[in-house]
A and B are shown apart, each in its own frame.
Chain A
Amino acid sequence: MTRQEILNELKKVISPYTTNKEMLAQINEDTDLLKDLKINSANLVDIIIDAEAKYDIEIDYDEADKMMNVGSCIDVISEKIGQKQ
């Protein structure tokens, strides 16, 4: 799975947690989940749980703490997918 493919999928995972759909359509690796997409910080937990279910991976608490922008989310998810294979 390429980083672009993960990003496209990630948009769908994030969608229920942001009302800023215009920004969501244009996200790139530098997009910050809290500052740019105005996601409630408490909901980051829910995004991680949804991502775990979508990719059938487990993300531990320390790794989850890194997932603050789109690029770092892709880093963690692609690493976990790689470990599965």
Chain B
Amino acid sequence: MGNRVVVTGMGVVSPNGIGIPAFLHAIQNGISGIKFMPHYHELKFSCQVAGMPDFKWDSLTNYVSEVTLHGLKGTNIAYGLMAALDAWKDSGMDYETEEPRWETGCVFGNSIADTEAMKNVINRVDNKEVKKLGSRVVEQAMNSGVTSYISGRLGFGNKVLTNSAACATGTQAILMGYEYIKHGYAKRMLVGSAEHVDTYVFGAFDSMRVLSRKFNDHPEKASRPMSATAGGFIPGSGAGALVLEDLDFALARGAKIYAEVLGGSTNSGGQRLGGTMTAASPAGVLRCINESLVSSNIHPNQIDLISGHLTATNADRQEIQYWCDALDRRGDNFPITNSLKSMIGHSLSAAGSIETVASILQIVHGFVHPNINLDDPNPEITKLVSVDSLPVKMIKKEVNIVAKANFGFGDVNSCLILSKFN
């Protein structure tokens, strides 16, 4: 069986709210964080709106020393640090420690370093000014930059590592931390993920023609998962973080407990049987969801809420089909399903962790957040499931078990089963 694993702290930097109270208010009220980006208009991007957190660098002075902050340019690191340190404080623990915290580790994921910040490096090198780069570039360019800043600030001495699995990164990070605690390798893991979709990464997605381009004049309507007028996703940025703890360890220190991670799975469809670099294999997704149910020891009928991947592309219909097949629930029997991306866009590696924070808030506060912009549900989707399972307004109801999945480029899947703590 292994140890039970609970969530004792959460932090979030989201396009529609920074910090748990602001984020909770936003998702309960269907507040969009998608904004028009004048710079993207100038650059002739097809998609000119994005989910950008209203983040102020000055606010980090309350989190790290001025020496650390001086020279910190990586926006993904800034988001990750803020979410992680907020989660830590929320779990009731101090930042400062003289000794390494040997019992605590960190799995924090991300996709790519801040390439806007790296542009300065490239320019200096090309101008034969390499001597002026200074000491702070490498630590922010390395994939483990976010994890290193977090773990250094809090003195983590257990497993400290960085995962990357495209859009499945966030849920995968949480699952990895869960597994370490479950199997007794760590007592506590700070887990999550961060993403800053800068101009250059945004441009690369724009060129793939997978972004929404018909709502530049109405940014808050641009992200439309499961709708008939969904025309691509909206890149978002931010970070989500959770403190996971061994149940007994958490109880012994009198920690407040938000929820329990019952289990989960991460796998790949092998880019075979219909799976490709950019498309999920049906067999891989079904296995991932089924393995999650088995590892959590729950019946599909126990799922109260699906927090979908549901990015607002053609894949939405297929995803709903996968959930129907994996759970053998369809029509009126399909679980209530929502997509946070309708409000904040798709924050790639950060999506899974921000959506998991949202899932746990729905468990704790007894509500289902709305799918905004779903006034015209895709008829191909409502053929499969009841329109009532796709709420457009917040529902107040008890939520006991949530299935949270994400599917990423590389045909990688991650699924978590989250539960009210009993």
Contacts and interface: CB of A to CB of B under 8 A. Distances in A.
A27 B65 CA distance: 21
A16 B136 contact: no
Contact of B67 (A43, A45, A49): A43
Interface in B366-401: none
B134 A19 contact: no
B66 interface: yes
Contacts of B66: 16, 19
Contacts, number: 24
B67 A19 contact: yes
A16 B66 CA distance: 7
A46 B71 contact: yes
A18 B134 CA distance: 16
B39 to A, nearest CB: 28
Contact of A16 (B70, B131, B132, B135): B70
* Interface of chain A, main secondary structure: helix
B70 A49 contact: no
B134 A49 contact: yes
A49 B131 contact: yes
Interface size grouping (class) on chain A: 10 to 19
A6 to B, nearest CB: 21
Interface string B45-72: 0000000000000000000011100110
Nearest to B133: A49
A40 B70 CA distance: 13
Interface residues of B, number: 10
A61 to B, nearest CB: 9
Contacts of A40: 67
A37 to B, nearest CB: 10
A49 B65 contact: no
A50 to B, nearest CB: 9
Contacts of A17: 67, 70
Contact of A18 (B67, B71, B131, B136): B67
A45 B134 contact: yes
A18 B70 CA distance: 10
* Interface of chain B, main secondary structure: loop
A65 to B, nearest CB: 14
Nearest to A60: B131
Interface in A36-85: 40, 42-43, 45-46, 49, 52
A45 B70 contact: no
A20 B213 CA distance: 52
Nearest to A45: B135
Interface string B196-225: 000000000000000000000000000000
Contacts of A18: 67
A43 B71 CA distance: 10
Contacts of A49: 131-132, 134
A43 B136 CA distance: 8
Interface in A1-54: 16-19, 40, 42-43, 45-46, 49, 52
A16 B70 CA distance: 6
6 contacts: A16-B71, A18-B67, A19-B65, A43-B67, A43-B135, A49-B132
8 smallest CB-CB distances across A and B, nearest first, come from: A16-B70, A42-B135, A46-B134, A45-B135, A19-B65, A49-B134, A46-B135, A49-B132
Given A16-B70, A42-B135, A43-B67, 8 more contacts: A17-B67, A18-B67, A45-B134, A46-B135, A49-B131, A49-B132, A49-B134, A52-B132
